[in-house]
Amino acid sequence: MNSASSALRISVVEVDLPEGLEGLLPALNPSTAWIREGTGLIGLGTAASAIAGGNDRFTQLARFWDSLLANSAEEAHTGPLAAFVSATFSADSRYASHLVVPEVLIRQEQNSSDTATVLIAAGSEGTDTQEVLGRHGLRLRGSGNDENEGGCAQLVAIGDGRELPVTRVEPGAQSKRQHLSAVAAGLSAIEDRTVEKLVLARDVVVASDGPLPVGTVLQRLAQAYPQTWTYLVGEVLGATPEMLVRVRGAEVSSRVLAGTISRSDDASGLVRDDKQHREHELAVRSLLDGIAPLTESLQSPAEPGVLELPNVYHLVSDVTGTLAADESGKLPGALAVAEAAHPTAAVCGTPTTPAAQLIAQLEAADRGPYAGPVGWLDAAGNADFGIALRGGVLEDQHRLRLFAGGGVVAGSEPEVELAETEIKLAPMLTALGLND
């Protein structure tokens, strides 16, 4: 575990965003992001950070966060200070789990028009706001003796947007034929009753002739899939439609997705499909079982709805509940709630342990942060943790490994499961300029 700073002081500036939150992205080199429907968070640089691994990776990150808050200035405890988190799917991954507090945090809330908050986290007093912003490609226009007087200063990007380089798709750990074989092996395990459901993913690598402009890729994702949560933490980025857990005080909620068909098919077929419903029901049940010990109440809909995205239809269930306080009145921390929920049957299988073992055997690739919790938490105890889906893992500035998977249950067909992965790879391939 490491940290760029053991204590933080923060300064806050209210700004206008004439370009909108997404409009800033192409000119920036963000370290973190969480955006949905034009609002959310963009982080630049690193003020404090930690890495963790193993079975207690969530606990390690939570301890670091608690220690950071305890040592930081009092104003950091009121809620504006936020950290971004990415946890690996598996405890034995060679990748690290990350907690990152950005040096600059741009936060735009829903219904805030063009107004946003800029938070600067530093290890000492006397921070020069313009100097810090300038290092990250931003400046305030209309502040101090600048030309615009009255109202908030405008936050604008200094440079121009970066274009996408030439990219190409290279093979991943498995060929399509090998993925078909893996699905067939999964179906054999289901027939033998080793598991009831198994989620198998495959990967492809996107290689580029120049450095990948992460800000541009994030903007393209956010604008093409506004109903999803566009994310970047550590080396993982994408646009997930699935909320693992959202915590607001004592209230907890989750958006469970399982059961998928292409938009070229009729959505009514998804509603009538017993196999899709069984797959979805297992995902909901695993989420409820995971977080029930931390709650005093949980509610889930009797029947799932249908979520319509640009490329797919999903069966969707929105779960809500109330967290249970301990004897001292303390609520469980957001990272503890995320740990209890992960992994759901939507990304692993049922039962969890044998499904995870089969994934390790059949996929032939380390998922890393793919399908793990990703999102943010703040000093007030609020948090959003999605599941890192419809995305990829940056291996270096020129290589991005993309992942996509599907749930295998009795009645699944390998060719159909392969086709589902192709559909789910499309958002990232398009954002990288490969389907234009």
Alpha carbons 358 and 192: distance in angstroms, whole number? 13
Alpha carbons 167 and 210: distance in angstroms, whole number? 8
The pLDDT, as a whole number, for residue 3 is 58
The pLDDT, as a whole number, for residue 142 is 83
The pLDDT, as a whole number, for residue 125 is 66
The pLDDT, as a whole number, for residue 85 is 98
Which of 252, 318, 236 has its CA nearest to residue 283? 318
Q: What is the DSSP letter of 25?
A: G
- H/E element holding 89? none
Alpha carbons 363 and 279: distance in angstroms, whole number? 20
Which residues are within 8 A (CB) of 42 and not within 5 positions of it... i.e. 6 or more apart?
Answer: 21, 24, 25, 28, 30, 32, 33, 35, 105, 106
Task: Give me the DSSP letters along 189-209.
Answer: HHHTTS-SEEEEEEEEEEEES
The pLDDT, as a whole number, for residue 183 is 98
Q: Hey, what are 9's tokens? A: 């002081």
- What are the domain boundaries of the chain? 9-157, 167-212+219-431
pLDDT in tens, the chain (436 residues): 465 545 788 888 999 998 899 999 999 999 999 999 999 999 999 999 999 999 999 999 999 999 999 887 665 555 578 999 999 999 999 999 999 999 999 999 876 667 899 999 986 666 788 999 999 999 999 855 444 445 689 999 998 888 899 999 999 999 999 999 999 999 999 999 999 999 999 999 999 999 999 999 999 999 999 999 999 999 999 999 999 999 999 999 999 998 888 888 888 888 888 888 999 999 999 999 999 999 999 999 999 999 998 988 899 999 999 999 999 999 999 999 999 999 999 999 999 999 999 999 999 899 999 999 999 999 999 999 999 999 999 999 999 999 999 999 999 999 999 999 999 999 999 999 997 5
Topology (CATH) of 167-212+219-431: Anthranilate synthase (3.60.120)
Alpha carbons 318 and 194: distance in angstroms, whole number? 29
Alpha carbons 247 and 325: distance in angstroms, whole number? 14
**Residue 135 carries which side chain, given as an amino acid letter?**
R
* 352 neighbors 362 (Cβ within 8 angstroms): no
State the virtual CA torsion across 228, 232, 238, 242 in degrees, nearest 10: -40
Distance between start and end Cα atoms, the chain: 41
Alpha carbons 331 and 329: distance in angstroms, whole number? 7
**Sign of the C-alpha dihedral, residues 334, 337, 341, 343?**
positive
Q: What SS3 class is residue 378?
A: strand
Q: Hey, what are 72's tokens? A: 């930081």
Q: Backbone dihedral region of 126: left (phi > 0), alpha (psi from -120 to 50 degrees) or beta?
A: left
Active site residue 330: no
State the catalytic residue, choosing from 22, 197, 339, 363: 197
The pLDDT, as a whole number, for residue 426 is 93
The pLDDT, as a whole number, for residue 124 is 65
Alpha carbons 160 and 203: distance in angstroms, whole number? 32
**Residue entry with tokens 């609520």:** 331
Active site residue 424: no
The pLDDT, as a whole number, for residue 148 is 45
Q: What is the DSSP letter of 294?
A: G
**Residue 160 carries which side chain, given as an amino acid letter?**
D
The pLDDT, as a whole number, for residue 256 is 95
State the catalytic residue, choosing from 242, 281, 339, 420: 242
Alpha carbons 349 and 406: distance in angstroms, whole number? 10
Largest CA distance in the chain: 74
Which residues are within 8 A (CB) of 295 and not within 5 positions of it... i.e. 6 or more apart?
Answer: 252, 321, 322, 323, 324
